[in-house]
Amino acid sequence: MKASKARSLAALDRRLGELKEQIASVGFLLPGSVVRRFMPCGKPGCRCGADPPRLHGPYWQWSTKVGGKTVTRRLPEHAAAVYAELVDNRRRLEAIVAEMQRVSERAAKILLEEAAAAAGQAVNRSLSSVGH
Ligand SMILES: [Zn+2]
């Protein structure tokens, strides 16, 4: 392997190691998202139907997909803070994994070039042995 490629691969390997350490520090996690909403109640004459409307809320919701269907759960405010933290943890994990994939794609390119070069050398060796 060329020195420059070996250095690049070593740097990518170091970065992968850092990302693995970051994953180890990710806490409990949840799918979905936490949203803050203001809503009308629909009762006639209520302020939420006025012009301009004064909606009710804030209400907190956690939404996630279960078997392709979006499931929404209403949350009291103290629960919303906990859910939001766990959802943030999952997003952080996804960001780390996404970077691991980018780093790995760059490493794969180098490894594939090396594998191709090694295969080429093996072919050259077998060809040169044919005539002897
Ligand atoms: Zn209302």
- Residues with CB under 5 Å of ion ligand 1 are 41, 46, 48
- β-pair partners for 75: 60
pLDDT band with cut points at 50, 70 and 90 for residue 131: low
- Residue 11 CA to ligand 1 centre (angstroms): 59
Sorted by where each begins, the domain ranges of the chain are: 3-127
Decide: 27 and 89 in contact? Cβ < 8 Å: yes
Cβ atoms 45, 38 nearer than 8 A: no
Q: For the segment 23-69, what is each residue's pLDDT rounded down to a tens digit?
A: 999 999 999 999 999 999 989 999 999 999 999 999 999 999 999 99
Q: Quote the CA–CA distance of 126 and 132 in Å, as a whole number.
A: 10
CA of 74 to the centre of ligand 1 (A): 18
Return d(Cα 81, Cα 85) in angstroms, integer: 6
Q: How far apart are CA 1 and CA 113, in angstroms?
A: 10
